[in-house]
Amino acid sequence: MSKLYRVAVEFEMVVQTESEDDAYFVAQRYMKDAIEDSGALIIVGSIIENPNDLPEFWDDMCLPYGGNGVQRIKEILEQSK
């Protein structure tokens, strides 16, 4: 049975903007392209065993990446008990 893992992806990019405030929005706009270009550092963390282990902004009703696109985190955690 597959498990849920907390994964951090870190990368750096360079943006050209008029101001520091604009840099955030430009980075957000081009983030997907930058990840593909950057060779991001991927850090596999702990196994997720309960909803308290989820990263910020995630809850047990989210769909995990790599799953079947239907089964929610809540169902996966219930099956793993």
In the predicted structure, residue 2 carries a pLDDT above the cut 80:
yes
Give me the chain's average pLDDT, please.
95
If one counts the domains in the chain, the total is 1
pTM of the predicted model as reported, rounded to 2 decimal places: 0.79
Residue 11 in tokens: 């990368």
- Residue range of the domain that includes 67: 5-79
Going by C-beta distance under 8 Å and a sequence separation of 6 or more, which residues neighbour residue 12?
38
Q: Is 20 within 8 Å of 27 (Cβ atoms)?
A: no
Q: What is the pLDDT of residues 45-73, one digit of tens each?
A: 999 999 999 999 999 999 999 999 999 99
Binned at pLDDT 50, 70 and 90, residue 39 comes out as confident
Asked whether the CA dihedral 53, 75, 78, 80 is positive or negative, the reply is: negative
